Amino acid sequence: MRWGRWPILTRVDQKQWDDLRAAAVEVAERAWAPYSHYRVGAAALVDDGRLVVGCNVENAAYGVTLCAECGLVSQLHATGGGRLTHFVCVNGAGEVIMPCGRCRQLLFEHGGNELVMWTVSGIKTMDEVLPDAFGPQDLEGTAR
């Protein structure tokens, strides 16, 4: 699969979701999971048409393990920033899985309530996956 630019999409059909999932499956094969052996891959579309991906990178000090979503958001910013529009996450067997709570917060920060996600229970928006999320708007007016 070629990673890079896709046409800018507001709606994604099942073939495009399948292609996005295939990118997540491909990058999951590159995960570094020598301890848990639980590979994770994530793929997302960006508002300018880019495809960004990430895989989990474990560490012997488990607390510093990087989730696939962390790598994805890092690639988002390393390649120009923008907003995530569509997202999917898979395990090493290629099954769609849910991001953990920490990663849902991370995805919300970079995609907002409008981010569309393929979840274990179907296609949902971020505001369905993480209702009443804490975000930048909650920090407005806060002394720094």
Domain boundaries, the chain: 14-131
pLDDT for 2 equals: 42
pLDDT for 141 equals: 73
β-pairing verdict for 51-55 and 40-46: antiparallel
pLDDT for 132 equals: 92
The answer to whether the CB of 74 falls within 8 A of the CB of 107 is no
pLDDT for 3 equals: 45
Q: 14-131 adopts what CATH topology?
A: Cytidine Deaminase; domain 2 (3.40.140)
HEC letters along 80-123: CCCCEEEEEEEECCCCECCCCHHHHHHHHHHHCCCCEEEECCEE
109 is catalytic: no
With bands split at pLDDT 50, 70 and 90, how would you rate the model's confidence at 101? very high
β-pairing verdict for 122-125 and 116-119: antiparallel
Which residue in the list 29, 58, 69, 95 is annotated as catalytic? 69
- Give me the torsion for CA of 85, 20, 15, 108, rounded to 10°: -30
- Res. 17: pLDDT tops 90: yes
34-87 tens-digit pLDDT: 999 999 999 999 999 999 999 999 999 989 999 999 999 999 999 999 999 999
